[in-house]
Amino acid sequence: MDPLVIAGKAYSSRLLVGTGKYQDFNQTRLAIEASGAEIVTVAIRRTNIGQNPNEPSLLEAVPPSKYTLLPNTAGCYSAEDAVRTLRLARELLDGPKLVKLEVLGDPKTLYPNVVETLKAAETLVKEGFDVMVYTSDDPIMAKQLEEAGCCAVMPLASLIGSGMGILNPWNLMIIIDNARVPVLVDAGVGTASDAAIAMELGCHGVLMNTAIAGARDPVLMASAMKKAVEAGREAFLAGRMAKKPYTASPSSPTTGLIASARDKAA
Amino acid sequence: MITVTINGEARRFETALKVSRLLEQMALADKRIALERNGEIVPRSRFDQESVADGDRLEIVVAVGGG
């Protein structure tokens, strides 16, 4: 087998999925089942006070007994808020150590604030969290986050929720080459081929939400993503053929062809 | 009467009370939540012992869908 090992724990799926933007919890549940994901992100938010006490809980759709829930810090714009959010998450989910850190810098682009991200990462690592960190595709930043003790580095492929795919494969390759922890593309994947390309580049996994939840048929797209990540991983392990620009090479034998009518005439 | 700020909203209660009692009054007793009082986590195991006093600021959170 070819497990994805994060913070010492082995996972058989290299696809990590979010739980946001689905129509309802039933669709969330079906899509996540179809994706085959074992690690599932959740957000932490203030509870609605005084509203519908019988409101269903997300945790019924994605039970912690079945999935590794990965609490995130989406929406946090400072290291302090991110750290507080994950302390609450640890209490809420009964002490998971594995968390997804993201500290945003700008509500328009949702681009990460890497200075605050690094600050938060240092605090969280000190407090015993296993930090999977969302970051830009800057190879130096990725390395610094790894050196700060993060257990996985997760550069963006393009902006969160944009579905624009992998805009800078070269930076991702530098990050992968330099890293001694798993590198996962987090954000920007739009369709199955994007996920396959990320894996073919050598990413250890892919984390996505909108590409599945925003598809016309999210459950079918979840299944497509599962296959794309598996196919991309196998292609990476298999080692692709060398590209031979402008040089054709026939796949069939060049000898033993039947005589052509024109040859006979001559 | 005491005033407690819960998730940014001012709420009035008859007297100072235990966290568990406050959660009952807010119909949150059976919910999976985490609670922060004045910036510090109150563990669920301490809800029966810890009190809420006038001027306290609480944050009560749940898990929701997100990426």
Which strand (E) or helix (H) includes residue A213? Answer: helix A210-213
Partner-chain contact B64 A42, CB within 8 Å: yes
**A-to-B residue pairs, Cβ atoms closer than 8 angstroms:** 102
Residues of A with Cβ-Cβ distance to B65 under 8 angstroms = 18-22, 28, 42-43, 58
Interface residue of A49, A67, A206, A212 to substitute, partner B, most B CBs within 10 Å: A49
Residue type, A118: L
Q: How close B59 gets to chain A, by Cα (Å)?
A: 7
Nearest to A46 among B41, B43, B60 (CB): B60
Q: What is the DSSP letter of B46?
A: G
Q: How close A78 gets to chain B, by Cα (Å)?
A: 15
Alpha carbon distance A27, A31 (integer Å): 6
> Whole-model pTM?
0.91
Alpha carbon distance A36, A13 (integer Å): 7
Partner-chain contact A46 B44, CB within 8 Å: no
As annotated, the active-site residues of A are: 100
Partner-chain contact A42 B66, CB within 8 Å: yes
According to CATH, what is the number of the domain B2-62? 3.10.20.30
B43 touches chain A (CB under 8 A): yes
Residues of B with Cβ-Cβ distance to A89 under 8 angstroms = 34, 63
Residue of B nearest to A42 (CA): B66
Q: For each of chain A's 266 residues, which pLDDT tens digit applies?
A: 899 999 999 999 999 999 999 999 999 999 999 999 999 999 999 998 766 667 788 988 999 999 999 999 999 999 999 999 999 999 999 877 999 999 999 999 999 999 999 999 999 999 999 999 999 999 999 999 999 999 999 999 999 999 999 999 999 999 999 999 999 999 999 999 999 999 999 999 999 999 999 999 999 999 999 999 999 999 999 999 999 889 888 999 999 999 877 766 55
The residues, any chain, with a CB within 8 Å of residue B63's CB and separated by 6 or more, are A42, A43, A44, A57, A58, A59, A69, A71, A89, A92, A93, B32
Q: Is the ipTM of this complex over 0.95?
A: no
A21 touches chain B (CB under 8 A): yes
Domain extents in chain B: 2-62
Q: How close B13 gets to chain A, by Cα (Å)?
A: 15
CB distance A121 to A102 below 8 Å: no
Q: Which residues pair with A99 in a beta bridge?
A: A131
Which strand (E) or helix (H) includes residue A238? Answer: helix A218-238
CB distance A73 to A102 below 8 Å: yes
